[in-house]
Amino acid sequence: MTKAIFFDRDNTLIYDSGYIHKPEDVVVLESVPEALLLAKSKGFLLIVVSNQSGIGRGYFSENEFHNVNRRIDEILLSYGVKIDAYYFCPHRPDEGCRCRKPEPGMVERASRDFNIDLRRSYVVGDKDIDVELARKAGCRLGL
């Protein structure tokens, strides 16, 4: 089994100007590339888990979301680092799905996909729901 760090995307890896959906608006936060390289050098998979209710609300399309992720990958690749996988929840908060953070659906799916030991893994984010996600998924909390 491997270990992973599950990162929130917006305001954790990139600056969130509000329902970001244009690749040209992507700004990777300072020190993120270096932190990701360090995590990778310690044997962690780098996995993004992100609520994207803007899709469910009709503010932007799933394709636009993927285009933003491709731009993140381009920027990070220039530093020699790559995100291993992106998982997202497109649902609105009122839909009550199991994948929307703080529910652990995205982490559980990634764990199955990559054979991840959740007890040796971390969640890093900027909101209380990320703290709750770590607890519900059985991960450690990284700040």
Q: Reply yes or no on whether the pLDDT at 94 is more than 70.
A: yes
Across the chain, mean pLDDT equals: 97
Mean pLDDT of 37-45: 97
Helices (H), the chain: 32-41, 53-56, 62-77, 105-114, 128-137
Q: What is the pLDDT of residues 14-36, one digit of tens each?
A: 999 999 999 999 999 999 999 99
Q: State residue 143's pLDDT score.
A: 63
Residue 107 confidence class, pLDDT cut points 50, 70, 90: very high
3-state SS, residue 20:
coil
Q: State residue 88's pLDDT score.
A: 98
Point out the residues that are catalytic: 8, 10
Q: What is the pLDDT of residues 75-88, one digit of tens each?
A: 999 999 999 999 99
Q: Which is it for strands 3-7 and 85-89: parallel, antiparallel or unpaired?
A: unpaired
